[in-house]
Structure 1
Amino acid sequence: MSLMARSLPQKAQLPAVSLLGNLFVLWFAPYAFAAMSISACLVYLISHAKSQKGHWVLFGVVYCISQFFLLRFLQEHSVDLGLGGSFSVLGVAYFTCRDVHYLVESYKGNVRKNIVTFWYYQSFLPVMIAGPINRYHEFEREIQRRSLDFDQISKGIERIIYGYAKVTVLGNYLIEHKIQSYLTQLPNQESILHSWLVSLADWAYLYAQFSGWSDVAIGFSLCIGIKISENFNRPLSSKSLVDFWKRWHISLSSWCKDYVFTPTLLITRNLFIAISLSMIAMGLWHESSLYYIFWGIYHAIGITLCRLYMKQENDVVVYFRTQFWWSSFTRALTIFYLINASVFIGLFYDGLY
């Protein structure tokens, strides 16, 4: 893709990338392409109507989110619409977040009307499938600054190779094929220790896959001359749960902070409710199930306790914070809480059925 784009005149490169992005989604997921096209048209019309009203923006947000859950439901239940082809929601989670972001920011007056840039933004292939959830104003700025830089191309290719190695060698071969296969052969499959090991392997696999594909997307974008935001920043070195969610899937975490956490906190003035809705939204973004509602509440409890601890300034807390081993302890405690999520929620969830 990047070689094709670079072989064209500079003015034709972004149109070619956008056209390729649309054709890619149309070929592999025609239903998702139709949904993406409809929502994009609706979002643009609402965002730049002459008499823009808050209730129309709210309608647009509700429509985008409702469409997301409907498409997810149709795929999970293998619903046959009788139109031929396989049903896929390829990229729906990402273009839904982009649509909501564009709607809200345009209502705030932070978006300039430009239908061409909007088209580039909606159909930018490197981020359509596996993110990150790039922001419109950042994308617009990068388009204006874009230039042919062969050093940037070199860095992009290096990032693509690095990310693909994460996915294939670290994720698929080492973790999934070797470690996870080995864990399935161990005795005492029902023990808590085994569940912890499985959960640890799952987190490692998820990190290798997700951060790897983010690296590939960032690398391809660099080859086209556009920088997109990082999605991971050494999350396993986090000193707290608050720190972890600033480092893990950064684009989704920041999206939930801006469009779920902050509005909810302003309305309810309740920190726990705001955190809970943000984490539930993050969970349902990955999978529409009761399990991920419990997952969101579990993490909300941990984050709330962590934030309350961080506000403490009494002598005991200050003493521990000054000890050289304290940061290592909090890192280990953070990882333990994360690993324990699937174990604890799994036991609770299974107990309901």
Structure 2
Amino acid sequence: MKVLLDLFSFAIPMIILSWILPKKYVLLSQIVITGLFILYKSPISFCVLTFVSFGNFYVLHQSNFRESIKIAISLVFLIFLIFTTKILFSIDKDWIVPLGMSYYSFRNIHYTLEYYKGKIKNEKLLFYLAYNFFLPVFIIGPINRYPDFVKDWQRRRFDNYYFSTGLQRILYGTSKIVILGNYLFTLKAVNFIENIDKNHEWLKTYLETLRFVFNAYFQFAGYSDIAIGLSLLMGYRIVENFNYPFLATNTRDFWAKYHISLSSFCKDYIYTPISSYYRKPLFGIIATMIIIGLWHEISLRYLLWGLLQALGIYISSFFQNKTKSIIMSTLGSLFVINFFALSCIIISHDTLSSALETYKTLFLIH
């Protein structure tokens, strides 16, 4: 909750200034306020993001290297940064991962790849800094794209619909976090599960498995709603991050609705190139889900989690074109919920051995 209150404390003056300042000062005010927020929450994060922003812009737009060298330097540095930091965190949990680094690293990788495609040319440093230092999406995404950000800025104007919708999304997001996440699935559900008789160990374990997944979902979806709402209040439309994923009838559809900005990023920059090159969609699926897993944490448990997601997507491909009745759709949704919940047991435990014990309980293995 403190992070949420801090976010609102900085976002409110940013929104006010974005409409009362002359337009030529608006982007600068957004950069400064976001920078102050990051500096307040994590000085090391401020230093890292500032270095990444100025360094990447210089390499791509100011240096005299050949285009191929520019791209190589940018991508190698960004990938090295995120992987090194997360590897150090997996080795030592006391290692501090810079706030928001997973998101701004992928945003900058996106920027570099779009530059490579020739879609970004002669950009101004001010726009690039405003894109990197954009407070609503900084903490937990979504991974917004640079061309969309610039287009929104160019056609930005005060809109009553944007404003009312933005307030609604903030209300929905806060409710998901506070009421559903913190109160229902953290406080009440935990107490309910703990009070179940010990003779019903299977039921306790199963309910705890579901509780972990739904709590994570409502927390994450809530912050995404707030990010979208704050952006709308400033005149920007940010990509949706969730679209009722647990109503999906197969795992492929689930990942088209869950963490949409990350899924679409990996689809465009990992799945499509690999699948096209090898002409084997399965290779693209495996590579994509492994990257999504390791993006969260570079560890064996997240590698296995990613492989399980790939397996689920591969299995769902056999049922993609089947005619679905209401009964089959319901069964499909139940499969998606339970498959995803069971796969998340791996990441909900600190060790694989403790996760294995949970699997033994659920599958009645003694």
Q: TM-score category by the smaller chain?
A: 0.7 to 0.9
Deviations 1:157-193 (Å, cap 9, x if unpaired)?
Answer: 2211221111111110111011023223434499444
Aligned partners of 2:186 and 2:126: how far apart in 1? 42
Counterpart of 2:315 in structure 1 is 305
- Structure 2 vs 1, CA of residues 340 and 13 (structure 1 numbering), >3 Å: closer, same or farther? same
Counterpart of 1:16 in structure 2 is 29
Query: In structure 2, the residue corresponding to 1:309 is in which secondary structure?
Result: coil
Aligned partners of 2:246 and 2:93: how far apart in 1? 36
23-32 or 267-276, which deviates more: 267-276
Note if contact 2:302-2:347 (Cα within 8 Å) is conserved in structure 1.
Answer: no
336-345 or 71-80, which deviates more: 71-80
Query: In structure 1, the residue corresponding to 2:239 is in which secondary structure?
Result: coil
**Deviation of residue 13 (structure 1)?**
2.2
Aligned partners of 1:232 and 1:36: how far apart in 2? 27
Note if contact 1:272-1:301 (Cα within 8 Å) is conserved in structure 2.
Answer: no
241-250 or 141-150, which deviates more: 141-150
Identity, % of aligned positions: 33
| Residue of 101, 106, 111 corresponding to 2:110 | 101
Counterpart of 2:78 in structure 1 is 64
Aligned partners of 1:208 and 1:227: how far apart in 2? 21
Counterpart of 1:334 in structure 2 is 336
| Residue correspondence of structure 1 range 126-137 to structure 2 within 5 A | 126-137=136-147
Counterpart of 1:148 in structure 2 is 158
Query: In structure 2, the residue corresponding to 1:227 is in which secondary structure?
Result: coil
Counterpart of 2:268 in structure 1 is 258
| Residue of 154, 166, 171 corresponding to 2:176 | 166
Aligned partners of 1:237 and 1:262: how far apart in 2? 26
- Structure 2 vs 1, CA of residues 265 and 28 (structure 1 numbering), >3 Å: closer, same or farther? same
**Deviation of residue 305 (structure 1)?**
1.6
Note if contact 1:230-1:250 (Cα within 8 Å) is conserved in structure 2.
Answer: yes
Counterpart of 2:8 in structure 1 is none
Aligned partners of 2:201 and 2:283: how far apart in 1? 34
Note if contact 2:27-2:126 (Cα within 8 Å) is conserved in structure 1.
Answer: no
Counterpart of 1:5 in structure 2 is 18
Paired letter, 1:28: K
**Deviation of residue 344 (structure 1)?**
6.9
Gaps spanning 5+ residues in structure 2: where?
1-10, 358-366
| Residue of 63, 68, 93 corresponding to 1:54 | 68
Paired letter, 1:275: I
- Structure 2 vs 1, CA of residues 247 and 183 (structure 1 numbering), >3 Å: closer, same or farther? same
Note if contact 2:212-2:348 (Cα within 8 Å) is conserved in structure 1.
Answer: no
- Structure 2 vs 1, CA of residues 107 and 142 (structure 1 numbering), >3 Å: closer, same or farther? same
Deviations 1:34-65 (Å, cap 9, x if unpaired)?
Answer: 22122222322333355543343133212112
- Structure 2 vs 1, CA of residues 322 and 175 (structure 1 numbering), >3 Å: closer, same or farther? closer
**Deviation of residue 250 (structure 1)?**
0.3
Deviations 1:303-325 (Å, cap 9, x if unpaired)?
Answer: 012123326xxxxx5xxx25442
Aligned partners of 1:262 and 1:346: how far apart in 2? 30
| Residue correspondence of structure 1 range 200-211 to structure 2 within 5 A | 200-211=210-221
- Structure 2 vs 1, CA of residues 190 and 42 (structure 1 numbering), >3 Å: closer, same or farther? farther
Aligned partners of 1:345 and 1:302: how far apart in 2? 16
Counterpart of 2:41 in structure 1 is 28
Note if contact 1:199-1:343 (Cα within 8 Å) is conserved in structure 2.
Answer: yes
**Deviation of residue 212 (structure 1)?**
0.5
Aligned partners of 1:16 and 1:186: how far apart in 2? 53
1:123 aligns with 2:136: no
Q: CA RMSD in A?
A: 2.5
Paired letter, 1:331: S
- Structure 2 vs 1, CA of residues 28 and 181 (structure 1 numbering), >3 Å: closer, same or farther? same
Paired letter, 1:350: S
Aligned partners of 1:345 and 1:215: how far apart in 2? 24
**Deviation of residue 267 (structure 1)?**
3.6
Aligned partners of 2:242 and 2:78: how far apart in 1? 26
Note if contact 2:305-2:346 (Cα within 8 Å) is conserved in structure 1.
Answer: no
Q: Report how many aligned residue pairs link the two structures.
A: 339
Query: In structure 1, the residue corresponding to 2:341 is in which secondary structure?
Result: helix
Deviations 1:7-52 (Å, cap 9, x if unpaired)?
Answer: 3233322221111111211222121222212222232233335554
TM-score normalised by length of structure 1: 0.88
**Deviation of residue 263 (structure 1)?**
2.4
Note if contact 2:102-2:295 (Cα within 8 Å) is conserved in structure 1.
Answer: yes
Paired letter, 1:47: L
Aligned partners of 2:316 and 2:49: how far apart in 1? 38
**Deviation of residue 194 (structure 1)?**
3.0
Counterpart of 2:57 in structure 1 is 44
Q: 4+ runs of 1 displaced by more than 6 Å?
A: 344-348
1:350 aligns with 2:363: no
| Residue correspondence of structure 1 range 86-97 to structure 2 within 5 A | 87-97=96-106
Note if contact 1:40-1:122 (Cα within 8 Å) is conserved in structure 2.
Answer: yes
211-220 or 196-205, which deviates more: 196-205
**Deviation of residue 234 (structure 1)?**
1.1
Counterpart of 2:252 in structure 1 is 242
